[in-house]
Amino acid sequence: MITLDSKSIVVGVDVHKYSHTAVAMDAWGQEKGKLEFSNDLLSAYAAWLRSLGEKQDIIVGLEDTNGYGVHLVEALSSEGFTIRYVPAILTERERKTSTKRHKSDYVDAKRVGKVILAKYEQTLPAKESIAGKEELQIAQSLDLLLQERRDLVKQKTMLKNQMHAMLHQYYGDHYADAFKKPFNKEAVAFFLDDLEANTKTAKEILATSIVRRLNRLGLIEEQISKITKGLTLVGSSSKEVAALQRELHGCGAVTACTIMAEVTTIKRFAGKNNLASYAGVAPTPHSSGSHHKLNTNPFGNRRLNRALHTVALSQIACKGDDRGKVYYQKKLKEGKTKLWGLRCLKRQIVNQVYRILKEATQ
């Protein structure tokens, strides 16, 4: 694995949809050159990189928050360049702590390079340059399906919230009393039959609007079901997903797929502490003299953090994992709050995830 030394050349890249800006610096932060290019000129950009020095000394830093750098990363990976991903929060901090808070493509690219120089250990190797072809394809497929599923779940929640208010207007306070859940199959079938039969009443527009939403809800639930089956199918081809489901209590198919979509390959992480920091479950120390305090980390990968949170809640449930419940209760007896105890449990779950994925890749 490449590390920074006196020969290193760091190239920060500010990525956009149609154009990119690159700034090259030496190990002391002195600028060596800059270049503006597009996706149609990636070969020219690679040639420019080669002109800067030896390939093994060049580190390309990328802040790719919207996925616009995918073509750039593919081209550089095929050329054998070392690529690091820089979290957007680090470049934002670099801007806020600077005496000159200018913002431009050139300045942003330079800040990406400065983050690589100053906080190399907080960046990660690009998954495209370190993961195997099959690993990358599985992770990309899972990520695409999960994105679509998340959007549909949001639409489903929005529709249900709207219909709660509209059904209350139409039926009154007790519209859901006859059903275990207001939108299960039995309830939806009743509402559809009753409303379609009463669309000629004074509440015709309200009834018709509810019917349209109920039909839309059925379509969304059908699509979510199909996507979940697709996730299960893609996940079945991943030994890491299978291992997580098998060995990690409370980790279902969707949660295991979410973890692997965000991690891609465990090879990106030097150890369990790196994975914990990436997930935002490693507490940050705030100490001064004899006062020692740990604060929660609000940053990190929030989707991975949410997946770990789901596993933790499942483990402390009534039918959860005995070891998880014992550890959680131990933290409560130590005087920690319920939320902090849950954070401690998530940190232990990260250790399990790292071990499981490491064993699965051996």
Q: Are 43 and 106 part of one and the same domain?
A: yes
Q: Where are the beta strands (DSSP E) in the chain?
A: 9-15, 20-26, 31-37, 58-63, 82-85, 124-125, 284-288, 291-295
| pLDDT tens-digit map of 142-186 | 999 999 999 999 999 999 999 999 999 999 999 999 999 999 999
Q: Are 213 and 247 part of one and the same domain?
A: no
Range of the domain at 246: 239-361
Q: How confident is the model at residue 17 (pLDDT cuts 50, 70, 90)?
A: confident
Q: Are 204 and 245 part of one and the same domain?
A: no
Q: What is the DSSP letter of 81?
A: -
The reply to whether 1 falls in a domain is no
What is the C-alpha separation between 163 and 186, in angstroms, rounded? 16
Q: Are 286 and 230 part of one and the same domain?
A: no
Q: Are 198 and 271 part of one and the same domain?
A: no
The domain boundary residue, chosen from 130, 148, 181: 130
The reply to whether 69 falls in a domain is yes
Q: Does residue 1 carry a pLDDT above 60?
A: no
What is the C-alpha separation between 115 and 99, in angstroms, rounded? 16
Q: Are 183 and 124 part of one and the same domain?
A: no
Total tally of structural domains belonging to the chain:
3
* 255 vs 361, more confident: 255
Name the β-bridge partners of 173: none
The domain boundary residue, chosen from 192, 213, 235: 235
Helix (H, G, I), strand (E, B) or coil at 86: coil
The pair of structure tokens assigned to 344 is: 């401690």
Q: Are 229 and 260 part of one and the same domain?
A: no
Measured from the Cβ of residue 199, the count of other Cβ atoms closer than 10 Å reads: 14
The residue among 130, 19, 129, 15 whose CA lies nearest residue 63 is 15
Q: How confident is the model at residue 127 (pLDDT cuts 50, 70, 90)?
A: confident
- The residue-averaged pLDDT of 23-31 equals 93
What is the C-alpha separation between 179 and 185, in angstroms, rounded? 10
- The residue-averaged pLDDT of 203-216 equals 91
